[in-house]
Amino acid sequence: MDWKLRARVFIQRITQPTCSCILCMSAPTFANIASLPHWKIALQTGVGTGMLALLLSFTPIGKLFAHRYGNATLMGVLTALADAWSHPGRFRVQYGEALLTGVVSALIVLATSFLVEDRARRPREAWAWLRRTWFKR
Domain ranges of the chain: 3-134
Coil, strand, or helix at residue 91? coil
Identify the CA nearest to 100 among candidates 4, 7, 17, 5: 17
Q: What is the mean pLDDT of residues 13-31?
A: 80
Residues 83-100 pLDDT 10s: 888 877 766 777 888 888
In terms of C-beta density within 10 A (0-12 exposed, 13-18 middle, 19 or more buried), how is residue 43 classed?
middle
Residue 69: is its pLDDT beyond 90? yes
Give pLDDT, residue 74: 92
Confidence of residue 126 (pLDDT cuts 50, 70, 90): confident
Cβ neighbours for 19, distance < 8 A, ≥ 6 positions apart: 42, 108
Give 95-134 as a 3 state SS string: CHHHHHHHHHHHHHHHHHHHHCHHHHHHHHHHHHHHHHHH
pTM: 0.77
